[in-house]
């Protein structure tokens, strides 16, 4: 049994999920949050599905052990590769994940052309392919792996020539093709939003998932009577698999406030290595991967995207 006073658990391959945390803090200022940055294994976008599942399982177990009442998989790659596995592995825990905002992008495009910037693993995955086939029929969707973008954010490089030289070759073909909506399909990328927006210009909409995920978390917590009711501002605890000093330095830069970090390694068991290599559990198909849980009323949950 979980209590409303327990923290929200969040994790990402690194510090990109702090873009989601910012929105959670704005919408849920009283909630305590425990965040795990798996920076020693960042980026996930170039790792195998088996390794991603293994890391996600170990981190989820750690966050559960730290008393989390809900776990937010604040990583598009991890959500795509592992969230169904996590829900089967920890059936008593509510997981909230992300997916590229293909559907809303297809709804708002004027030119009928959309760009998706995501990690190599997300771009090549079945989940993104299914989203495009299901929600963007009749729309031209150009997918591009954002090689090097995660590393820029993890180093705290958010502006300048190096960022422009990295994003330029990714965005130029989209602009030449007439794309008028760009989906940021990785939680690291919103930290590069200013440079991306300046490059594509004001006529191109940029979509990310942070605010909509925060609303989804509110819905899940309210449904389970776990919404915190404290009058005081919630705490923030940053755990990491990498050296704490550097993680804290970059986190402070990203959030614009002093942040301390604790190095806490999570280790698994040998049998887990075999478990994550098995096929998806029965009933899990491409059409059900990384989808938010339906509300008890049967209503469609809020889409994990937001136009800004």
Residues with a catalytic annotation lie at 75, 186
Q: Are 33 and 57 in contact (CB under 8 A)?
A: no
What is the strand order of the sheet 70-73 is part of?
95-96, 70-73, 8-12, 33-37, 236-240, 261-263
Closest of 81, 142, 87, 88 to residue 111, by C-alpha: 142
Per-residue buried b or exposed e for 32-63, using 16+ beta carbons within 10 Å of the residue's own CB: bbbbbbbbebbbbbebebbebbbbbbbbbbbb
- State the pairing for strand pair 205-208/306-307: antiparallel
Alpha carbon separation from 232 to 30, 228, 229, 235, 259 (Å, rounded): 6, 10, 9, 9, 19
């Amino acid at each position: 049994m979980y209590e409303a006073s327990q923290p929200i658990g969040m994790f990402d391959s690194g510090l990109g999920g702090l873009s989601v945390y910012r929105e959670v803090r704005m919408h849920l200022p009283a909630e305590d949050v425990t965040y795990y940055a798996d920076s020693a294994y960042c980026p996930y976008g170039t790792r195998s599905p088996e390794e991603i599942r293994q890391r996600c399982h170990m981190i989820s177990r750690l966050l559960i052990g730290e008393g989390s009442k809900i776990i937010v998989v604040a990583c598009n790659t991890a959500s795509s590769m592992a969230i169904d596995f996590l829900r089967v592995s920890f059936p008593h825990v509510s997981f909230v994940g992300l997916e590229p905002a293909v559907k809303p992008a297809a709804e708002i495009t004027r030119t009928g052309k959309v760009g998706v910037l995501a990690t190599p693993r997300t771009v090549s995955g079945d989940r993104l392919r299914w989203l495009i086939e299901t929600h963007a029929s009749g729309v031209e969707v150009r997918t591009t792996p954002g090689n090097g973008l995660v590393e820029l954010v993890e180093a705290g490089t958010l502006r300048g020539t190096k960022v422009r030289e990295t994003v330029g070759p990714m965005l130029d073909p989209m602009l030449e093709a007439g794309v008028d909506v760009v989906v940021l399909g990785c939680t690291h990328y919103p930290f590069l939003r200013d440079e991306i927006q300046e490059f594509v210009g004001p006529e191109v909409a940029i979509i990310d998932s942070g605010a909509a995920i925060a609303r989804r978390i509110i819905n899940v917590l309210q449904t389970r009577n776990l919404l915190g009711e404290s009058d005081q501002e919630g705490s923030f605890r940053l755990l990491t698999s990498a050296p704490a000093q550097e993680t804290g330095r970059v986190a402070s830069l990203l959030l614009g406030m002093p942040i301390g970090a604790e190095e806490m390694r999570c280790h698994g068991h040998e049998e887990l290595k075999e478990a994550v290599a098995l096929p998806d559990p029965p009933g899990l198909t491409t059409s059900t991967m990384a989808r938010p849980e339906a509300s008890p009323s049967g209503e469609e949950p809020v889409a994990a995207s937001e136009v800004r």
